[in-house]
Structure 1
Amino acid sequence: MLAKERLLYIIKRLQAQPSISVADLCKELQVSKSTIQRDLKILEDEGKISRERGGAVQKNLDEIMSDLTEIPVIEKVDIHAEEKKAICREAAKVVKDGDLIFLDSGTTPLYLIPYIQNKKIKIVTNCYLTLARLQGCDAQIYMLGGLYIPKYEVCSGPSTIEQLKQFRFDHAFIGANGIDLELGEVYSSEFEIGALKKAVMKRSKDSYLLVDDSKFSLAGICTFGYFSEFTHIYVNDFPKNEKRSKNIIICK
C-alpha cells in the first residue's frame, strides 16, 4: 500500500470512530509500529489529527485535502484492480456495435477497454493512458486536445469542451475522485476536469458513473454531478446502512 493510501485510510478510520490505536492500525495495514507512528506525525503536522499516547484522535476531519486523496493517476492503475474489473465487466454490457462512447480519464474507465475492444464502435477520450490502452482495438478512436495536465494524463479546458460539441454520445463512462453517499454528490479534484465531465454528460444520451467503494465519502473541491443525473452508477459494494437509489448497480 502506498504511503498516501495509508494516510487516507487513517483519515477514513477516524471519520468512522473518534480514536484508534497504533496497534490496531499496524494490524489492519500490516505495517510496522514505526511506519504508523511516522504516518500519524505527518497527519498531525498537517493539522488533520491529534496524536495521543498509543494512537490518534479526530481533529479537523470535515475536509479531506485533495493533495492527500489524489495520487498521480499512473500510480493508481493497479489499485483495487479486481473491484474495477467487476464494475467495468457489468458496465460494458450496455455497449453495442455502432455506438459512439466517451471514456473518461481516471483508472476505473481503463478497465472497460478489454470488454469493448472487439466491438465495432467509436470511442472519444481526453486521456492519454486510455489512448495507449486502446492501441490495436477494433474501435475508431478520437483523441481530444487542449490544456495538458500531466498529473492526470489528460487534456482539458475550454478548447477541449469546444471540441466535445461536435459529438453526441450514446454512452459516457465517467470516473470520480469521490462521492458523498448521503448528499448524492459526485466530486472531481480539479475544476477544469469537473467542467469537462459536466460537458460530456450534457452531450450523452446515457451517462454511467464507475466508482469502487474506496471513493465513498471522499471529498473533492468540485461537485460535477449528482446521483440522479446518471443512468446507472456501477459500484463493487454498497453500505447496508445507506439508502440505495434505484440506479445503483452492485457488481460482483
Structure 2
Amino acid sequence: MITKERQTRILEMVRNQSFVSVKELMDQLHASRSSIVRDLIELEQQGLLVRERGGASANRVYQEIATEKKAHIHVKEKQCICAQAAKTIKENQCIYIDSGTTTSYMVEHIADKDILLVTSSTYLIHQLPLTFQGQVFLLGGQYDRRLDTALGSTTLEMVSHFHFDHAFLSANGIDLKTQEIYTANTELATFKKAILKQSTQCDLLADASKFEVKTHCTWAYIDDFDTIFVDNGPKYKPFTICQKGNNYENK
C-alpha cells in the first residue's frame, strides 16, 4: 500500500472513531510501526489529526492546508457528494462553483451541460475535461497560491456583476449546535457572503469530517442553504446524505 493511500485510510479510521491506536492501524493496514508513526507525524503536521499516547484522534480545530494536499483526502466521499449535487444543475443556467477540493469533483459531472460556469478557482479550471460544452468565466484578483484561488477587492467587484442561478459552496467547518458555517480565511468569508447574496439557489458541499470543526470566521448559517450535501450526518433538512448507490434526501 502506497503512502498516500495508507494515510487516507488512517484519516478515515480516525474520523470514524474517537481514538485509533497504533497497533490497530498496524493490524488493519498491514504496515510496520515505523511506517504508521511516520504517517501520524506527517498528518499531524498537516493539521489533520492529533497524535496521542499510543495512537491518534481527530483534530477538531481547523488548520488551513494547501489544496494539493487536501486533494487526496476523503476522495470517495467527495465524489459521491458531487455526483448527487450535479444532478440539480439545469441547462442554460449561470453556475458558481467554489474553490476547494470537494467542489472540484463537480466538473466530472457537468461536461455535457450547456451552462455558464463561473469560479475563482484555478484548481477547478485545471480539472475541467476537454469535452466541457459550456462557457467558463474565471474571476480575477489577487492570486492565493496556497488555496489556488483569486481573492480580494477585484474579485468581489467582479462577483457583483453576476447573478447566479445556482451556487455550490464549500466550508472548512460546520457546527451543528450553533448552526454556524466556518472558513479559516477572513477574505474567503467576505467573498463567500457575496456569492450567497448573488445566488438564487445556494447549496453547500461538505464531507462529514467537517462536522464540529471550528475556525475563527463564521460566514453563513445552516438555514442559509437550500441543500447541504454530505456523505453522512443529520437526517433533517436541509441535509441530503449522499452515499454510493444510496442517496437519502431528508424531508
- Per the normalisation by structure 2, the TM-score is 0.79
Q: Which residue of structure 2 aligns with residue 222 of structure 1?
A: 217
Q: Which residue of structure 2 aligns with residue 116 of structure 1?
A: 110
- Decide whether the 8 Å contact of 2:60 with 2:212 is kept in 1: no
Equivalent AA in structure 2 for residue 98 of structure 1: N
5 Å-filtered alignment, 1:23-38, equals: 23-27=23-27, 31-37=31-37
Q: CA deviation at 1:181?
A: 2.6
SS in 2 for 1:102: strand
Q: Which residue of structure 1 aligns with residue 247 of structure 2?
A: none
SS in 2 for 1:108: helix
The alignment status of 1:86 with 2:119, answered yes or no, reads: no
Q: Which residue of structure 2 aligns with residue 250 of structure 1?
A: 241
Q: CA deviation at 1:223?
A: 1.5
- Decide whether the 8 Å contact of 1:40 with 1:51 is kept in 2: no
Q: Which residue of structure 1 aligns with residue 119 of structure 2?
A: 125
Q: CA deviation at 1:132?
A: 1.9
- Per the normalisation by structure 1, the TM-score is 0.79
The CA RMSD over aligned residues, in Å, is 3.2
Which residues of structure 1 form unaligned runs of 5+? Answer: none
- Decide whether the 8 Å contact of 2:22 with 2:37 is kept in 1: yes
5 Å-filtered alignment, 1:115-154, equals: 115-134=109-128, 136=130, 137-154=132-149
Output the CA distance in 2 between the equivalents of 1:234 and 1:170: 18
Output the CA distance in 2 between the equivalents of 1:34 and 1:200: 46
Equivalent AA in structure 2 for residue 141 of structure 1: V
Which residues of structure 2 form unaligned runs of 5+? Answer: 244-251
1:166–1:57 CA distance, 2 compared to 1 (3 A): closer
1:51–1:125 CA distance, 2 compared to 1 (3 A): closer
Pick aligned residue for 2:192 from 193, 197, 202: 197
1:116–1:42 CA distance, 2 compared to 1 (3 A): closer
Equivalent AA in structure 2 for residue 73 of structure 1: T
Query: Which shows bigger deviation, 100-109 or 175-184?
Result: 175-184
- Decide whether the 8 Å contact of 2:102 with 2:206 is kept in 1: yes
Query: Which shows bigger deviation, 165-174 or 210-219?
Result: 210-219
Equivalent AA in structure 2 for residue 251 of structure 1: C
| Matched residues, number | 236
Q: What do residues 121-178 of structure 1 show as CA deviations (whole Å, max 9, x unaligned)?
A: 1011000011122353111111111111101110011211111000010000001122
Q: What do residues 163-211 of structure 1 show as CA deviations (whole Å, max 9, x unaligned)?
A: 1000010000001122223322222121111211111011101111011
Output the CA distance in 2 between the equivalents of 1:86 and 1:202: 27
Q: CA deviation at 1:120?
A: 1.1
Q: CA deviation at 1:43?
A: 6.2
Q: What do residues 204-252 of structure 1 show as CA deviations (whole Å, max 9, x unaligned)?
A: 01111011122222222322111110000001112xxxx5431100112
